[in-house]
Amino acid sequence: MADESDARESEGGIYSERDLQLARFHALGGGRLLEEDIATATRISLGDLVTPKHREIVTKLAAAGLSNQAIADILEISKERTQELFKYELGTGFELASANLSHSLFLGGVAGNHAAAIAWLRNHNRSQWRTKDNNT
C-alpha cells in the first residue's frame, strides 16, 4: 500500500490525494478543472464581492455623519480599502441626506409650516434671509 499522504485505499482501488481533492472539489460544486478555478479565484477582487446592500449601508452610515474610519471599523476592513471600494457612497452620502432634509423643509414650507419655510429660505437665500446676529 502506498504512503497515506499520497494515496488512500478504497473499495474500488487506491486513490491519490489529488483524486480525492478533485472529488471534494466536484462535490462542492466545482465544474471545471481545479487549476482553472484556482486561477479564476485569484482574479476575483474584493470589489467583485460588494453588493448593493453593502453600498446602501455605507451610504446610510455616511449620511448619518460617521467618519470613514468608523465606517471601515463597522465593515471590518481598512479605511483605505473602504475609501477605494465605496468612493461614491462616501462622497455623496452626506450630500444626499442634506438634500433630503432640504427637500423636507421645502415641502413643509409649501404646506404652511412657517418655521420650515424660514429655515429653507435661510439656507438657500442667505443674503436676504440672514438673521440680525448673523451678518455673514
The residue type of 44 is I
List pLDDT tens digits, range 80-102. Answer: 989 999 999 999 988 888 888 88
Q: What is the chain's alpha carbon radius of gyration, rounded to the nearest angstrom?
A: 29
Percent of the chain with pLDDT over 70: 58
CB 81 within 8 A of CB 72: yes
- pTM, two decimal places: 0.53
**Residue 89's pLDDT is what?**
94
Residue 131 and residue 68: Cα distance in Å, rounded?
A: 34
